Structure 1
Amino acid sequence: MTDRNSDAVQCTASPSVGAVAVDRRNGKVGVVMGHVGPYVQLRPPRGGREWDVPPEDVRPPTPAEELSAKVAVANRRWGR
């Protein structure tokens, strides 16, 4: 028997505002800006337009994805 419940819990847990997350549908990394209705709102780390993602399509980033997003945010602060 497969343990489907652990996947369901992981998929439905909404990340907190400011966290880095990945949209499973397209692989885009974003910063969580908020939760509107049933959706998680992500924004590209360098800024730009937010997009809505169903909570089941949000996953935590890999260490490399998270580091890349944080470097993009830092570079934006320094005007690079």
Structure 2
Amino acid sequence: MSTPAIGTLLLDLVRDQLGEFRGALGARWFLRPALGGREWEVAPENTRAATPEQRLRIATARANARSRGELL
């Protein structure tokens, strides 16, 4: 699996959680929760690209948070 671009939404199959790709260190990738929070490590083989539906859901949640003045 090739290294994704920074900011790519991925699903961590172990945690069943969406995260933004933040970088790699050796054989580990780092994801940050899509709606903010603390990064975590994941093995690349335990991820897959977010579906269009998941990307739309996150984009909507981010837009709603910004409209409420929240920082992500």
In the superposition, the TM-score normalised over structure 1's length comes to 0.72
Give the direction of change, closer, same or farther, for the CA distance of 1:67–1:56 in structure 2 (3 Å limit).
same
Between structures 1 and 2, the one with greater strand share? 2
Measured in 1, the distance between the counterparts of 2:7 and 2:35 equals 13
- Of residues 37, 41, 44, the one that matches 1:52 is 41
Q: Does 1:25 align with 2:20?
A: no
What letter matches 2:45 in structure 1?
Answer: E
Measured in 2, the distance between the counterparts of 1:16 and 1:63 equals 17
Identity of aligned residues (%): 38
Computed over aligned residues only, the root mean square deviation of the Cα atoms, in angstroms, reads 1.6
Could you tell me which runs of 5 or more consecutive residues in structure 2 were left unpaired when the two chains were aligned: none
Give the direction of change, closer, same or farther, for the CA distance of 1:45–1:76 in structure 2 (3 Å limit).
farther
In the superposition, the TM-score normalised over structure 2's length comes to 0.79
Count of residues in Structure 1 that have an aligned counterpart in Structure 2: 69
What letter matches 1:47 in structure 2?
Answer: G
> What secondary structure sits across from 2:31 in the alignment?
strand
Runs of 4+ in 1 over 6 A off after TM superposition: none
- Please say which structure displays the higher CA radius of gyration: 1
